[in-house]
Amino acid sequence: MAKINENTELTLDIKTIVLVVSGVISLVAMYFALQKDIEEAKRLPEPPVSRTEYELKDQLIRQTIISTQEQVEENSKKLDNIDAKLYDIINR
């Protein structure tokens, strides 16, 4: 196992050093660009919800509720059939 202390020598060629430095610079530049975009997005007003969008969302919600209600009714009928069959099996 290698021991690392103050006498340990590390040799890197110029190409590797340049790649590491350029990578760090790229990451820092990307970070600051993202921060700028976030601050700009915070200042922008929220887009208003149009009447058409509201109606479409309302219609979708209503359709989902109706579909769920139909599925519940189907499951209720199936459950009633299962209960009847189970009652017949038990009372034989």
Residue range 31-54, pLDDT digits in tens = 999 999 999 999 988 878 788 988
User: What's the whole-number mean pLDDT along residues 2-12?
Assistant: 83
- What pLDDT score was predicted for residue 50? 87
Q: With cut-offs at 50, 70 and 90, classify the pLDDT of residue 1.
A: low
Three-state DSSP at 37 gives: helix
Q: What local confidence, expressed as pLDDT, does residue 47 receive? A: 77
Cα distances (angstroms) measured from residue 57 to each of 31, 53, 82, 91: 36, 6, 37, 51
- DSSP state, 50? P
Distance CA 15, CA 25 (A): 15
Burial track 16-30 (b if 16+ CB lie within 10 A, e otherwise): eeeeeeeeeeeeeee
The amino acid at residue 88 is: D
